[in-house]
Structure 1
Amino acid sequence: MFNMNPLNLADAQMQQLIMLLVAGVLGFIIGYISRQRTIRELEGELASTERAIDDCLRTPVVVASATDGESIVLNRIRARASEIDFSRIGMASVDNADDLKVIVGVGPFLEKKLHAIGIYTFRQIANFNQEDIEKVNDIIEFFPGRIERDDWVGQATELANKK
């Protein structure tokens, strides 16, 4: 009766070729995206492993006399203070220290960490550039991107201008 065989159409082979090409392109795109996500995860694991290895190999500048974890962490952070570019952000000391806890996102222990690497004033934080933010974030072992999300630089700039 009716001849409904799709292979009898004049352009059936062309349609099949186009569908095969589209399927191949979609497969490539999905595979590429999946591979990039895997690469990002592996790079994150590699960075944390390298940080752990660096911590193991680094000799502390100050020997922890106390057995509590806080002093061990502060000594580990203090050992990395030389990685900060103080010629750009400025030098400060305990004598002219600001109350960094005023900045949203900075608590008492985090303030101790910042002091351990030589950051005492709002002006120093206000002078941070992107590289400084990443370096300080890594050294003080803080959540990635938290300094930017809480806008420490903006808050510190306002607080330094009010002084």
Structure 2
Amino acid sequence: MFTLNPLNLADAQMQQWIMLIVAGILGFIIGYISRQRTIRELEGELASVERAVDDCQRVPVASVAATDGETLVLNRIRARANEINFARIGLASPANADDLKVIVGVGPFLEKKLHAIGIYTFRQISNFTQEDIEKVNDIIEFFPGRIERDNWVGQAAQLVKKK
């Protein structure tokens, strides 16, 4: 009776090619839109993580409940530690700390202040520039010009050579 075989039509192969091309184009468009949405989501997530990292760097490190004047001072100093250019003077940790009290003019409490801002070694002090001296002097709330008068940089450089 009726023979409905689509392959018998004259333009059947042309229709199949057109449907294949349309399906490919639609797949590309849907994939492109999906990829762009994923990229926007990831960029938003990256921005929020970067903000969180910035917030962490601004928060005082290991703030202890202030019970006495020394702790208050150290917490205040610790909060400003990010103002120092550690890329220039170098990074150090408590594990490789030198006895900074060997430097004339540095006492026990001043050593604690220096540790609070991340200065642990003679090498870091020997790398101070004039700008670093002024910034550290301001942060540790020390007498203006005292670091230069006591020649911390020179003393630290000598101690580095002795090591």
TM-score w.r.t. length of structure 1 = 0.62
Task: Specify the alignment match of 2:96 in structure 1.
Answer: 96
- Report the identity percentage: 81
Mapping of residues 16-55 of structure 1, within 5 Å: none
Equivalent in the alignment of 2:120: 120
Corresponding position of 2:75: 75
The answer for the alignment partner of 1:141 in structure 2 is: 141
Letter in 2 for 1:76: R
Across the aligned residues of Structure 1 and Structure 2, the Cα RMSD in angstroms comes to 1.5
SS at structure 2 position matched to 1:120: coil
Q: 1:23-63 CA deviation, whole Å, 9 max, x = no partner? A: xxxxxxxxxxxxxxxxxxxxxxxxxxxxxxxxxxx975544
Please name the residue that 1:106 is paired with: 106
**Structure 2: which amino acid aligns with 1:67?**
T
Q: Call closer, same or farther: CA 1:91–1:61 in 2, change over 3 Å.
A: closer
Q: Counterparts of 1:152 and 1:68 in 2: how far apart (Å)?
A: 29
Amino acid at match of 1:69: G
Name the amino acid aligned to 1:85.
N
TM-score normalized with structure 2 length = 0.62
Listed as ranges, the gaps of 5+ residues in structure 1 are 1-57
Summarize the Cα distance change of 1:63–1:93 in structure 2 as closer, same or farther, 3 Å threshold: closer
Q: Please tell me whether Structure 1 or Structure 2 has the larger radius of gyration of its CA atoms.
A: 2
Matches of 1:66 and 1:134, distance apart in 2: 27
Q: Which runs of 5+ in 2 are unaligned?
A: 1-57
Moved over 2 A (4+): 58-64
Tell me the amino acid that sits aligned with residue 134 of structure 1: E
3-state DSSP class of the match of 2:141? coil
